[in-house]
Structure 1
Amino acid sequence: MTDDRARARIAAVRDAIAANPFLRSPLATASRPPVDVIVPIHDAFDDTVDCLASVAVKTDAPFRLALINDGSRDPRVPALLAALDGAAPNVVVVDRPDNHGFVRTVNEGFRLGPASDVVILNSDTVVTPGWLARMTALAASRSDIATVTPLTNNGTICSVPSPLEDNALPEGYDVDRFAALIASVSLEIFPEVPTGVGFCMLITRRALDAVGDFDARAFGDGYGEENDFCQRAIEAGFVNLIADNAFVYHKGRGSFGPRGDDLLARNLATLAARHPRYHADVARVCAAHPLRPFHEYLGHALAARLESRQSVRARVLHMLHHGGGTEKHARDLAATDDPGVRNYVLVSHGHALDVDEYHAGRRLRSLRFPLRAAIGPYAPAPEAGYRDALATVCRTLEIDLVHVHHLMHHTLDIASVAAARGIPYVMTLHDYYTVCPSYTLLDPDGRPCGACLDPGHRGTPESCLKALGQPASYLHDYQQAMAAFLRGAARLFVPNIRVRDIVSARYPELRDTMTVIEHGHRPAPDGPRARRPIERDGRARLDVAVIGALDVHKGSSVLRDLLRANRRRETTFHLYGTAPDPDLTPAERDRGGRLDGSHFVYHGPYESTEIVRRLVADGIHVGLQLAVWPETFSYTVSEFVEAGIPVIAADLGAQGERIRRCRLGWTARSGRCGGDMGKRTKRSSPAEALR
Structure 2
Amino acid sequence: MIFCIAHGRYLFKNPSPRILCVTMKDINHVFDYQPFHYELSGLASDYVRLLKMALSLFEQNRASAVWRLLERAERCNPNVAIELVLLRAKALERCHYFSEAFDVVESAYQLHANRPEIQQYLLRLHAKLLPKHAEQAFTLARLTLHQKNDWQSIIIALQILKQLQLNPVGACHYDGTAITGWLLDSNILPALTVTLDDADFKLTPYLTTPFLHQQGFGSGRDGFSLTVSADCFKVIRIHLNGLDLVGSPLYLNTERLQNTSQTTAITPHVNTRVTASKSPVIDIIIPVYKGLKETKACFNALLSAKNIIAYRIIVIDDASPEPLLVDFLRELHAKNRIELIQLPVNIGFVGAVNQGLRASCHNDVILLNADTCVHGDWLDRLHAVAYRSERIGSVTPLSNNAELLSFPIPMQVAAMPEPAMLAKMDTILAQQHGINAIEIPSGVGFCWYIKRSCLNEVGLLDDVLIERGYGEDTDFCLRAAAKGWKNVCASNVFVAHAGNVSFGISKKHLVAKNLARIHERYPEHEAQYNDFLTTAPLTPIYNALQRAILPDYAAKATALVVLPAILPDAISHDIIRALDTRNRHSVYYLAIAQTTQANYRITLSSSNSNEPLSLTYTWPTDGSVLWHDLRAAGFKAIKIHALVGWPESILNGLCLLGIPYHIILHDYSAYCLQSTLLKAKAVCTISVVDDASCVACVSEQGCKNTAYSHPKALRDFSVQLFQKAETITVASADAAQRHRAYFPNSHFKIDRRAIKQAAALGIKQPTAVINTDIVRFAVFFAATAEQGFFNVLALARLLARQRSPIELIVLGTSWDDQALFATGKAWITGPVAKADVADLLRLYGCRLALHLAPWPEIDGLAWQMAQLAGLPLAAPELGIYKELLDENLGDIRLSLNKTLEEWLQIMLRPAQLSAVA
TM-score normalised by L of structure 1: 0.49
Q: TM-score, normalised by structure 2?
A: 0.38
